[in-house]
């Protein structure tokens, strides 16, 4: 694609940023949709963040994706937040509309969009989500938008446990979904709740080393073919959790779909057009396999 004085600029803002697959996704999408735009990765050192964030519009950026450690730090520089971004007090997508900046969070919605594309109906279902960090919170908050009846959240009993419990209580009051926080140390309770769940989501990084499970094997031994197991990790493409779940006959998915659909939702938020998801997914898989060689 030829760039000129009318080319719109989009970016990925994080630290570090070199690993991001977003430039591949969005530049391919701009090309396929014949949009005169380019997407670059910006590795912003923490001491420079405030200056960069305050001059977002001065750069001429039409939009951006935001990742760690800036998903919450960007909020004071925005004019408004979408309801789902307000719910988790974090953004991963920013849109510049004539100098007015709107922040959105497409991570959680990306997972549920992928589930929908795979034919999994969430209405009235019960889910268990492992982890309540950045990705976990986005998925938890999005659950209500997709009409889940009950969501169990498993979390370590650390200094943010009480804060997470209070946040879940607020979500429960604001939505029609019932949220319940479980202590990772209460293995008996977790085992019981897992048997009640049609969907299990690993929103932690446990399994990235290709060795560990996010729950004890004794708890996971109850998995059955009536359950869908989703691991948001995509490197490796198959984690120990997914291997075990497949052996139990579960329908399974790694995090490629969530990565794809959070990007697709951001792309549509910026451009009003759909992302060519089939082409982008093929490119993503090829690049991930190349990186693992």
Q: Which residues are annotated as a binding site for shikimate?
A: 20-22, 67, 92, 107, 234, 262
Give the Cβ contact number of residue 186 at 10 Å.
Answer: 13
Which residues are 202's β-sheet partners? 130, 231
DSSP track, 19-40: T-SHHHHHHHHHHHTT--EEEE
For 4-41, give one letter per residue: b (16+ CB within 10 A) or e: eeeebbbbbbbeebeebbbbbbbbbbbeeeebebbbbb
Does 71 qualify as catalytic in the annotation?
Answer: yes
Strands 100-104 and 228-231: unpaired
**Which one of the listed residues 32, 71, 121, 189 is annotated catalytic?**
71
Instruction: Say which residue the tokens 């030829």 belong to.
Output: 2
Residues 146/185, Cβ–Cβ less than 8 Å: no
Q: Are 75 and 91 in contact (CB under 8 A)?
A: yes
User: Can you name the residues that pair with 155 across neighbouring β-strands?
Assistant: 183
Feature table: binding site: 20-22, 67, 92, 107, 131-135, 232, 234, 255, 262
Annotation: binding site for NADP(+) = 131-135, 232, 255
> What sign has the CA pseudo-torsion 197, 201, 205, 211?
positive
Dist CA 73 CA 77 (whole Å): 8
- Cα 236 to Cα 281: distance, rounded to the nearest angstrom: 16
Catalytic residues: 71
């Amino acid at each position: 694609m030829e760039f000129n004085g009318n080319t719109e600029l989009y970016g990925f803002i994080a630290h570090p940023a070199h690993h991001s697959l977003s430039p591949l996704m969005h530049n391919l999408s701009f090309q396929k949709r014949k949009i005169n735009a380019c997407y670059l990765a910006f590795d912003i050192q923490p001491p420079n963040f405030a200056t960069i964030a305050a001059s977002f519009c001065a750069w001429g950026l039409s939009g951006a994706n935001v990742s760690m450690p800036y998903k919450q730090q960007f909020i004071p520089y925005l004019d408004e937040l979408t309801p789902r971004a307000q719910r988790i007090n974090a953004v991963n997508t920013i849109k510049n509309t004539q100098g007015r900046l709107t922040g959105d969070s497409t991570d959680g919605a990306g997972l549920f969009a992928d589930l929908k594309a795979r034919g999994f109906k969430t209405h009235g279902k019960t889910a268990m989500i492992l982890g309540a960090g950045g990705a976990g919170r986005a998925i938890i908050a999005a659950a209500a938008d997709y009409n889940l009846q009950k969501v169990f959240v498993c979390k370590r009993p650390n200094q943010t446990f009480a804060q997470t419990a209070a946040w879940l209580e607020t979500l429960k009051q604001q939505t029609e979904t019932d949220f319940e926080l479980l202590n990772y140390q209460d293995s008996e309770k977790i085992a019981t709740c897992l048997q009640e769940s049609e969907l299990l989501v690993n929103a932690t990084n446990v399994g990235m080393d290709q060795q560990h499970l996010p729950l004890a094997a004794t708890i996971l031994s109850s998995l059955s073919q009536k359950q869908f197991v989703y691991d948001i990790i995509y490197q490796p493409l198959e984690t120990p959790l997914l291997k075990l779940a497949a052996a139990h006959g579960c329908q399974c998915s790694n995090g490629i779909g969530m990565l794809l659909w959070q990007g697709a939702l951001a792309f549509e938020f910026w451009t009003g057009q759909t992302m060519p998801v089939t082409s982008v997914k093929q490119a993503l898989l090829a690049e991930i396999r190349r990186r693992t060689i």
